[in-house]
A and B are shown apart, each in its own frame.
Chain A
Amino acid sequence: MSNTGTLLEVSGISVSFDGFKAINNLSFEIGPAEMRAIIGPNGAGKTTFMDIVTGKTKPDEGKVLWGELSRNLIGMNEAKIARAGIGRKFQRPTVFEDQTVFENLLMAVKNDRNPLKVLFFRPKFKDLAKVEELAAEIGLSDQLERKSGELSHGQKQWLEIGMLLAQDPKLLLVDEPAAGMTLGEREHTTDILKEAAKTRAVVVVEHDMEFVRRLDCKVTVLHEGSVLAEGSLDHVTQNQDVIDVYLGR
């Protein structure tokens, strides 16, 4: 475990929708260069947790502290949080299908996001180099000029991961990256994520146990909106509570 402190500290958050407690006094921490998998049955609050960290949902109580300065993220809007260094990948691949792979990546590359700066933006050499480098990493180098709507499901997933990396975030939140992928595609996805986790924090929400095993990282099990168990995959799969609520089904 890294001793360089925590990057993200979520403490005691709760949120309820129409009386249903989606998140119940949840606490969670992750370090600056760490891979973490979050597993849990449907309705455990995995996606809601991501919504809270990225500013989409406001929690009823609790704190989300970010970075070395322990800035509270609650109350900031999604765009600001994204600029602070949290990138998010949705469950369903969401890329801009009407635009080319190149345009998708260029839009994501870290640069000034101010409308006027964007209007007069012309890609510099380093931006183009970054796009090339990312395209190579996600295996889409020869697809740059294609509209991303033409890509296969797996390629769209990679493109979205590429767009995340282009933002150069300190924390990546990835929701079910391997859904609908072939075995080969899954392996490639694992490689991309592992590579990313060397320099930044990566949180992966996943249903598929085999995929989580391949990630080979610490696992947090969520159940009914709070943490049920935490530790290595072998450790949590032997936990009796986890077996009861999740694996034993």
Chain B
Amino acid sequence: MEIFKKNPSLPVFIAALAIFTLAVTFMSEAYGTGALSTSFVKTLGKTLCLALVAIAMDLVWGYTGILSLGHFAFFGLGGYMIGMWLMYARTEIIVIESMANAPIPPTPSEISDAIGTQIFGVVGSSDFPLIWTFAHSFWAQIALVVLVPGILALVFGWLAFRSRVTGVYLSILTQAMTLALSLYLFQNDSGLRGNNGLSGLQNLPGADAISQDNISIWFFWASAFALLLTYLIAAFIVSGKFGSVIRGIRDDEARVRFLGYSVEGFKLFVFTLTAVIAAIGGALYYPQAGIINPAEIAPIASIYLAVWVAIGGRGRIYGAVIGAGFVSLVSTYFTGGQAPDINLGFYTIKWVDWWLVLLGLSFVLVTLFAPKGIGGLFDLITHRMSPTRHGLPLGPDKGSLREEEAEK
């Protein structure tokens, strides 16, 4: 098949993901030896979701050249949309149970008020805001997972690309959007519980009898499957002529325009599609994390996303997966207190404090010495080298050779 020919990494990735999924399953507490704790299975499941959103980032940045600092906001919005249903449905069950013993059966409006008080009491309110209209319906909220970030990306992208905002200015614009969104969500009257965010998302409604051991591995499978699908979609997109056009837009936008392609249309398509992919990743991530609050959406998260993709290797899908997986797992190791402190005698390096410095340093080193990222190491194995044609053209006399080649 052509998609395999154009993406030699695809079978390797599928095999690696399958082996990884099986290994985790057989080491989990629910279905295996229990070598991996449930919380670590959740961390791995979350990491797969981060790899998924990194692929989206790679499509939009590594392939199309739009350095978006807003894709983690779409990720968070997806989490909020699914979180609303999780919170509502679970609170509803609890409220109905506690009211069942009352001498007079409660009316629907009493139930609704009680749910409202439970959810919004923390921000001093008990009324459902308008945006919770569909929170009772699972399918409606699933649709909103796709629709809300999708429409936001569509409108934002249309305005930005139509005005031909590019490069750093577009990055600033997307960052402003992300900041505005997180500041808005921080407000108590935003309708999404302000800085408390939505919590208790790991408790699936009506699944109290099922252990988190099992739920964690189910979510892990779902995340692995979603990652596989995303990888296949991304491979399909970049392997054909569409891939040629978006890489062309990255390298020379004006040329693509003079070839007759509507650059704005292509950018908008990629921007919106990747926003939707990011949102689906978020909808799988936050039930595993258990809590979402506006701090997750803050611009720094989207910058991290760019750092993962840069460290993993832009413009190759497996690079994004490696970057997100590697950096977020190492980050968990260092910030989780597992890394041993280094005692220098006069000063003790606590990794919790110094991890960010290490990350920043490795980012600088990767940029300087391995501009293709970790994924670029595979080029050394496969000998996929880009030509080194430095030196100025020699001009008409020596023809096609360039300075350095001619001297050899």
Contact = CB atoms under 8 A, between A and B. Distances in A.
Interface of A: 54, 56, 77-79, 82-83, 87-88, 90, 94-99, 103, 106-108, 113-116, 118-119, 121-123, 147, 149-155, 163, 167, 180-183, 185
Given A121-B242, A149-B389, 7 more contacts: A56-B254, A78-B257, A79-B258, A79-B262, A95-B255, A118-B261, A123-B241
Contact of B242 (A119, A123, A182): A119
B258 A54 contact: yes
B206 to A, nearest CB: 40
Interface string B261-274: 11101100100000
A77 B255 CA distance: 13
Pairs of residues from A and B, 8 with the lowest C-beta to C-beta distance, nearest first: A152-B400, A82-B260, A83-B260, A78-B257, A150-B387, A182-B399, A119-B242, A115-B269
Contacts of A83: 260
B391 to A, nearest CB: 12
A150 B389 contact: yes
A180 B247 contact: no
A151 B393 CA distance: 12
B353 interface: no
Contact of B400 (A78, A121, A123, A153): A153
B244 interface: yes
Contacts of B262: 77, 79, 113, 115
B396 A180 contact: yes
Given A153-B400, A183-B396, A113 B261 contact: yes
15 contacts: A56-B254, A78-B254, A83-B260, A96-B247, A96-B252, A98-B386, A106-B244, A107-B244, A107-B248, A113-B260, A119-B237, A150-B389, A154-B399, A180-B396, A183-B396
A121 B242 CA distance: 8
B244 A103 contact: yes
Given A98-B247, A115-B266, A147-B386, A155 B260 contact: no
Given A87-B258, A115-B265, A115-B269, A182 B396 contact: yes
A186 to B, nearest CB: 8
Contacts of A90: 255
A79 B261 contact: yes
A77 B247 CA distance: 21
Given A79-B257, A82-B258, A185 B399 contact: yes
Contacts of A183: 396
Nearest to A102: B244
A90 B254 CA distance: 10
Nearest to B405: A152
B266 A82 contact: no
B259 A181 contact: no
Contacts of B395: 180
B5 to A, nearest CB: 13
B259 A82 contact: yes
B240 interface: yes
A66 B241 CA distance: 30
Contacts of A121: 240-242
Contacts of B192: none
B245 A107 contact: yes
A99 B255 CA distance: 14
Nearest to A100: B244
Contacts of A56: 254
Given A82-B257, A82-B258, A183-B396, A98 B401 contact: no
A136 to B, nearest CB: 19
A149 B259 contact: no
Interface string B359-402: 00000000000000000000000000011010001011101111
A82 B260 CA distance: 5
* Residue in B244, B252, B397, B402 with the greatest tally of chain A CB atoms within 10 Å: B244
